[in-house]
């Protein structure tokens, strides 16, 4: 029996860099001799710890380019980690046999922002939805039609539409096809990367309701990546905030929205347009998110932080517990 | 500007005597495609007074952009304005010659697009483009034009304007590019700006910076602004008035306070109700069933009828636009507060 506390997914000090500097000693030598210059390295994800418990809905928020999708793809096993360990059900992914790894990959499915680009335009809906399940023996030739119908129905699509091609559907319906395809391989965790961002408000509500229904029916776990804090607040149990490749805060939704600790989270929350707030005077945080190619030293947020001190410019703040299950990475917490 | 001042400004522009900068009357624009006539904008009427911000909201395909393009005379074949008037300071733009329109565009009227590269030329430095834009409508020396460009960038809250002037568009971030595009639109302190989802693709932090600068400018310079968006929360914070579009028509229009707090049209109510923030956390969201109709094969009568819980047999007719409270109009046979149902 699995123990209650073994997370479905756990990342330990996971990093992802793109554009490796020097792969070989020859390259390093050439660089030291100034014959070649090191290629720029993007620290897309920098030593991130993340635990997702079964049945939990975890929101992942942050500005564009901060590493949300990269992290999501590593959770889904679609992208290898550069360093650190990813564990599925307590087992390190790289210690698995190829067969085990394959099974693990089915457990975690990803739903993307743009449903059209992730659906093969030349395939009919039934093949898009059912092919993976057929390949992995979750259904057979005889059961195929019924199996596909069940998935379509669960995603809120009429099984009668099975013979159509993706372009014959609306954006919201295409997103449902993507969801039906993911459900068909019986996953435990869905990584949703901006899955409702491209949809209109009224269609967005329909898809969010579908996610909530599936959670109840199938006990699914979610990593929900979104720039829309309103959606995250509605849907998630816990929120993780990223800034320039690092996790800066993590807390339950209630805690985060009522008592954000990190100055970046506070600024972010202050700037979401709110329906109930009329005649806002927008008081923006200054500056833009710096390039991850050349992140500021110390606390990455210091050039934009109103509380920055000399220490912030040199020392990376550690992610520490500021109250039970509420983590934040800010030097200000040492003062209290 | 402080809050009380702002409210005072808003009050003064509410005076009925104020002549609007823009008055659109019964505008119709259609696309004559091979598949048939697509009525993208149907009988749209709007007014925007100086110093006021009108939020034009609606879902994808509802006709917001085509409305904006029509006002500016920028609709291309197979599209055509098929009826109505666009009165800019009393002059009907639909009757103006191409040369007359060009003189107004980029000078008295400006448009800001979702993609700033619609405005920016990728192969020219920012200063070259801005100097050109200044001198297109004003006889000043290059030096003066460049100085004016620098001041306008600074006005948009762009840090180190001198450095940005020397940059090529690709050297700027998306948010900075959009701010430069907005600065170009502002060069001649236009009387009317039409902004088509300029912050939709940007992060909230950058959006907040842009909204703050734009809001300040409009108030200070008495500009009329139409802000097109699908985001009701942006409209709630930014605009004075709001017009809600559905399937080519404005279904409800009025002050932000009236329309967002006391919506009378079932579609407006449905949109607001489906916002996550208007629902109890973790509960299913209230949703509008179905989806928007295909404009190529529109049912007769109210376009919302198939999704409307209040629809009756009379809704098979076209509902007229009616004023149900001072300054608030609704296109519905059964308007009313949601609770009344
Ligand atoms: N060049 C064109 N040819 C044919 N139809 C067009 C053309 N441009 C727009 N349309 C149609 O006009 C209608 C309104 O389009 P418009 O772009 O104004 O919508 P919108 O509200 O701005 O949507 P979005 O939020 O997606 O930009 C749509 O049905 C669209 O398909
Ligand atoms: N294949 C890649 N090669 C180089 N850089 C990449 C690649 N994928 C992502 N990045 C960079 O990694 C950073 C994080 O990207 P991403 O996770 O996609 O951000 P988000 O999803 O939060 O917008 C960005 O700076 C991005 O440019
Ligand atoms: S560590 Fe310093 S710079 Fe970083 S968020 Fe805290 S106070 Fe600001
Ligand atoms: S006119 Fe009828 S169908 Fe249309 S919105 Fe009003 S009640 Fe609904
Ligand atoms: Mg992304
Ligand atoms: Mg548009």
User: Domain check: are B49 and B94 in the same one?
Assistant: yes
For the CA of A46, the nearest ligand = 2
pLDDT digits (tens, 9 = 90+) for B251-289: 999 999 999 999 999 999 999 999 998 898 889 999 998
DSSP per-residue codes, B156-202: TT-SSHHHHHTS-GGGS-HHHHHHHHHHHHHTT--SEEEEESTTTTS
Judged against a pLDDT cut of 70, whether residue A36 lies above it is answered with: no
Mean pLDDT computed over B207-225: 89
For residue B298, name the pLDDT band (cuts at 50, 70, 90): confident
Is residue B172 situated within a structural domain?
Answer: yes
Q: State mean pLDDT over B188-196.
A: 94
- Among residues A184, A183, A208, A182, which one has the least CA distance to residue A194? A208
Domain count, chain B: 2
Maximum CA pair distance of chain B?
67
Of the pLDDT bands very low, low, confident and very high (cuts 50, 70, 90), residue B5 is: very low
Please indicate if any CB of chain A lies within 8 Å of the CB of B257. Answer: yes
Chosen for mutation from A114, A227, A279 (greatest number of chain B CBs closer than 10 Å) is A279
Q: Residue B309: helix, strand or coil by DSSP?
A: coil
Share of chain A above pLDDT 70, in %: 91
Same domain, yes or no, for B157 and B255?
no
- B300 falls within a domain: yes
Q: Tell me the CA distances in angstroms from B228 to B68, B243, B294, B315, one per residue in order.
A: 8, 10, 22, 28
Cβ contact, residue pair A271, B208, below 8 Å: yes
Q: What pLDDT does residue A1 have?
A: 44
Residue whose Cα lies nearest atom 11 of ligand 1: it is B40
- Tell me, what CATH number does B228's domain have? 3.40.50.300
Residues of B in contact with A275 (CB under 8 A): 232-233, 236, 260, 272, 275, 277-278
Are the CB atoms for B270 and B288 separated by under 8 Å? yes
The answer to whether the beta carbons of residues B142 and B131 sit under 8 Å apart is yes
pLDDT in tens, B102-132: 889 888 999 999 889 999 999 999 999 999 9
Q: Is the peptide bond before B78 cis (omega within 30 degrees of 0)?
A: yes
pLDDT at A149 over 50: yes
Tokens of A312: 């912030």
Is the predicted pLDDT of residue B153 greater than 70, yes or no? yes
Instruction: Tell me whether residue B337 is in a domain.
Output: yes
Are B261 and B329 found together in one domain?
yes
Interatomic CA distance for residues B64 and B59, integer angstroms? 9
Residue B114 lies in a domain: no
Nearest CA owner, ligand 1 atom 12: B40
- A90: region left, alpha or beta (phi > 0 left; psi from -120 to 50 alpha): left
Residue finishing a domain among B165, B187, B209:
B187
Per the structure, the complete domain to which residue B255 belongs is given by 1-108+189-341
In this structure, the residue with its CA closest to atom 6 of ligand 3 is: A330
Do B193 and B179 lie in one domain? The reply is no
Q: How many CB atoms lie within 10 A of CB B5?
A: 10
Of all residues in chain B, what percent carry a pLDDT higher than 90?
68
Atom of ligand 1 nearest to the CA of B38: 5
DSSP for B38-103 reads EEEEEEEEEEE-TT-EEEEE--TTSSHHHHHHHHTT-PPTTEEEEEEEEEETTEEGGGS-HHHHHH
In-domain check, residue B211: yes
Q: Residue B160's closest chain A neighbor by CA?
A: A287
What pLDDT score was predicted for residue A298?
96
pLDDT of residue B341: 44
Asked if the structure places residue B80 within a domain, the reply is yes
pLDDT at A143: 94
Picking from B187, B210, B237, the residue at the C-terminal end of a domain is B187
Q: What per-residue confidence (pLDDT) applies to B3? A: 34
**Does the beta carbon of A185 lie inside 6 Å of ligand 3?**
no
B250: enclosing H helix or E strand: strand B249-255
pLDDT at A47 over 70: yes
C-beta atoms of A275 and B284 within 8 A: no
pLDDT at B9: 40
Is the domain of B303 the same as that of B282? yes
Report CB contact under 8 Å: B276, A235.
yes
Q: Are residues B38 and B96 in the same domain?
A: yes
Q: Binning pLDDT at 50, 70 and 90, where does residue B156 land?
A: confident
Local confidence band at A283 (pLDDT 50, 70, 90 cut-offs):
low
CB of A301 within 6 A of ligand 3: the answer is: yes
Last residue of a domain, one of B129, B152, B187: B187
Name the residue among B37, B33, B94, B41 with its Cα closest to residue B64. B41
Does residue B309 sit at the A interface (CB-CB below 8 Å)?
no
Alpha helices in B224-297 (DSSP H): 232-238, 256-261, 266-273
Identify the pLDDT of residue A168: 84
- How high is the mean pLDDT of chain A? 89
- Please check the confidence at residue A5 and state whether its pLDDT lies above 90: no
Interface test with B, best of A157, A269, A278 (most B CBs within 10 A): A278
Contact B22, B50 (CB under 8 A): no
Q: Which residues contact B317 (CB under 8 A, 6 or more apart)?
A: B300, B301, B302, B333
E strands, chain A, in order? 9-18, 42-52, 57-61, 83-88, 91-92, 108-111, 189-193, 221-225, 238-243, 246-252, 320-323, 326-328
| Measured distance CA(B61)–CA(A86) in Å, rounded | 43
B55 touches chain A (CB under 8 A): no
pLDDT at B324: 94
- Ion ligand 6, residues whose Cβ is below 5 A away: B 65
B11 and B99 assigned to the same domain = yes
Region A318-330: what's the mean pLDDT? Answer: 96
Provide mean pLDDT across the span A236-258.
97
Residue B7, phi-psi category: left (phi > 0), alpha (psi -120 to 50), beta (remainder): alpha
Residues whose CB is less than 8 angstroms from the CB of residue A95 and which lie 6 or more positions away in sequence, other chains included: none
Dump pLDDT digits (tens) for B45-86.
999 999 999 999 998 889 999 999 999 999 998 999 999 999
A278:B257 CB<8 A: yes
pLDDT tens digits along B320-337: 999 999 999 999 999 998
Q: Is residue B230 part of a domain?
A: yes
B255 touches chain A (CB under 8 A): no
Q: Does residue B214 have its Cβ closer than 6 Å to ligand 4? A: no
Any atom of ligand 4 within 6 Å of the Cβ of B310: yes
Identify whether the C-beta of residue B178 lies closer than 8 Å to the C-beta of residue B169.
no
Whether residue B250 sits in one domain with residue B153: no
Place of tokens 């008035």: B241
Q: Mean of the per-residue pLDDT values for chain B?
A: 90
What local confidence, expressed as pLDDT, does residue B31 receive?
A: 95
For residues A17 and A82, the answer to whether their CB atoms sit within 8 Å is yes
- Burial string for A94-106 (b: 16+ CB within 10 Å, else e) reads eeeeeeeeeebbb
Residue B37 DSSP one-character state: E
Q: Please compute the mean of the pLDDT values over residues A247-270 and round it to a whole number.
A: 96
Confidence band of B203 (pLDDT split at 50, 70, 90): confident
Do residues B80 and B132 both lie within one domain?
no
Angle formed at CA A38 by CA A37 and CA A41, multiple of 5 degrees: 145
Give A175's contacts (C-beta < 8 A, 6+ positions apart). Answer: A111, A115, A195, A196, A199, A207
CB atoms within 10 A of CB A329: 24
Are residues B207 and B183 located together in one domain of the fold? Answer: no
Report yes or no on B115 lying in a domain.
no
Range 149-208 of B in CB contact (< 8 A) with A = 159, 173, 175-176, 203-208
- Taking only the tens place, the pLDDT of each residue in A52-103 is 999 999 999 998 889 999 999 999 999 999 999 999 999 999 888 888 888 8
Cβ–Cβ under 8 Å, residues A42 and A293: yes
Which of A116-125, A288-297, B71-80, B156-165 is predicted with the least confidence, judged by mean pLDDT?
A: A288-297
Q: Nearest residue on chain B to A66, judged by CA atoms?
A: B203
My answer on whether B70 and B18 are in the same domain is yes
Q: First CA to last CA across chain B, in angstroms?
A: 42
Q: Are residues B181 and B208 in the same domain?
A: no
Predicted confidence at residue A280, as pLDDT, reads: 67
Of all residues in chain B, the percent with pLDDT exceeding 70 is 94
Of all atoms in ligand 2, which is nearest to the CA of residue A72? 17
Residue A202 confidence (pLDDT) above 90: no
Q: Which of the 8 DSSP states describes residue B296?
A: G
Kindly give the distance from the C-alpha atom of residue A299 to the centroid of ligand 3, in angstroms, as a whole number. Answer: 6
Q: Which ligand is nearest to the CA of B267?
A: 4
Compute the distance between CA of residue A140 and CA of residue A44 in angstroms, rounded to an integer.
Answer: 41
pLDDT of residue B15: 43
Band (B297; pLDDT cuts 50, 70, 90)? confident
Residue of B247, B319, B341 best suited for mutating to test ligand 4, as the one with most atoms within 8 Å of CB:
B319
Are the Cβ atoms of B276 and A170 closer than 8 angstroms?
A: no
């Amino acid at each position: 029996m699995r123990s209650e506390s073994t997370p479905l997914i756990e990342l330990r000090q996971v990093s992802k860099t793109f554009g490796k500097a020097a792969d070989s000693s020859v390259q390093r030598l050439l660089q030291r001799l100034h014959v070649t210059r090191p290629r720029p390295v993007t620290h897309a994800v920098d030593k991130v710890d993340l635990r997702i418990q079964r049945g939990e809905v975890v929101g992942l928020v942050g500005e564009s380019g901060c590493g949300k999708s990269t992290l999501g793809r590593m959770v889904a096993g679609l992208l290898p980690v550069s360093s650190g360990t990813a564990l599925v059900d307590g087992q390190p992914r790289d210690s698995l046999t190829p067969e085990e790894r394959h099974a693990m990959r089915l457990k975690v499915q990803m739903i993307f922002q743009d449903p059209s680009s992730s659906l093969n335009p030349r395939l009919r809906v039934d093949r898009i939805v059912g092919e993976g399940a057929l390949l992995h023996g979750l259904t057979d030739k005889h059961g195929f039609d019924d199996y596909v119908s069940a998935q379509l129905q669960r995603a809120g699509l009429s099984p009668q539409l099975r013979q159509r091609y993706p372009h014959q559907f609306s954006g919201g319906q295409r997103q449902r096809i993507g969801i039906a395809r993911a459900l068909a391989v019986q996953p435990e965790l869905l990584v949703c990367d901006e899955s409702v961002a491209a949809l209109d408000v009224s269609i967005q509500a329909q898809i969010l309701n579908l996610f909530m229904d599936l959670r109840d029916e199938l006990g699914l776990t979610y990593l929900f990546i979104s720039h829309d804090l309103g959606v995250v607040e509605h849907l998630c149990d816990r929120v993780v905030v990223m800034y320039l490749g690092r996790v800066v805060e993590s807390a339950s939704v209630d805690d985060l929205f009522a008592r954000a600790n990190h100055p970046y989270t506070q600024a972010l929350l202050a700037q979401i347009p709110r329906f109930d707030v009329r005649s806002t005077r927008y008081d923006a945080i200054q500056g833009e998110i710096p390039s991850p190619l050349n992140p500021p030293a110390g606390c990455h947020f210091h050039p934009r932080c109103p509380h920055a001190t000399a220490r912030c410019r040199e020392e990376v703040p550690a992610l520490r517990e500021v109250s039970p299950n509420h983590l934040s990475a800010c030097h200000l917490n040492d003062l209290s | 500007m402080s809050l009380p001042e702002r409210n005072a400004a808003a009050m003064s522009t509410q005076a009925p005597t104020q002549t609007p900068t823009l008055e659109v009357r019964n505008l119709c624009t259609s696309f004559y495609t091979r598949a048939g006539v697509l009525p993208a904008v149907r009988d749209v009427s709007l007014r925007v007074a100086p110093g006021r911000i009108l939020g034009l909201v609606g879902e994808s395909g509802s006709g917001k952009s085509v409305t904006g393009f029509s006002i500016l005379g920028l609709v291309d074949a197979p599209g055509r304005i098929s009826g109505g008037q666009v009165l800019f300071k009393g002059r009907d733009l639909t009757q103006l010659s191409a040369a007359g329109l060009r003189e107004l565009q980029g000078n008295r009227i400006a448009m800001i697009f979702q993609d700033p590269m619609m405005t920016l030329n990728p192969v020219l430095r920012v200063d070259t483009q801005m100097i050109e834009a200044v001198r297109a409508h004003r006889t000043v020396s290059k030096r003066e034009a460049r100085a004016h460009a620098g001041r306008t960038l600074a006005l948009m809250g762009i840090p180190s304007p001198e450095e940005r002037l020397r940059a090529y568009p690709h050297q700027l971030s998306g948010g900075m590019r959009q701010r430069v595009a907005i600065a170009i639109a502002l060069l001649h302190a236009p009387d009317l700006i039409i902004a088509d989802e300029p912050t939709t693709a940007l992060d909230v932090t950058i959006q907040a910076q842009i909204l703050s600068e734009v809001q300040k400018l409009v108030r200070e310079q008495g500009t009329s602004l139409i802000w097109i968006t699908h985001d009701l929360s942006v409209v709630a914070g930014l605009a004075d008035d709001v017009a809600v579009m559905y399937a080519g028509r404005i279904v409800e229009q009025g002050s932000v306070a009236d329309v967002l707090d006391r919506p009378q049209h079932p579609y407006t109510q449905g949109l607001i109700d489906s916002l996550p923030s208007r629902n109890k956390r973790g509960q299913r969201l209230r949703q509008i069933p179905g989806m928007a109709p295909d404009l190529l094969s529109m049912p007769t009568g109210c376009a919302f009828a198939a999704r409307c819980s209040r629809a009756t047999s009379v809704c098979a007719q076209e509902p007229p636009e009616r004023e149900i409270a001072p300054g608030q109009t609704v296109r519905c046979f059964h308007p009313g507060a949601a609770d009344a149902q």
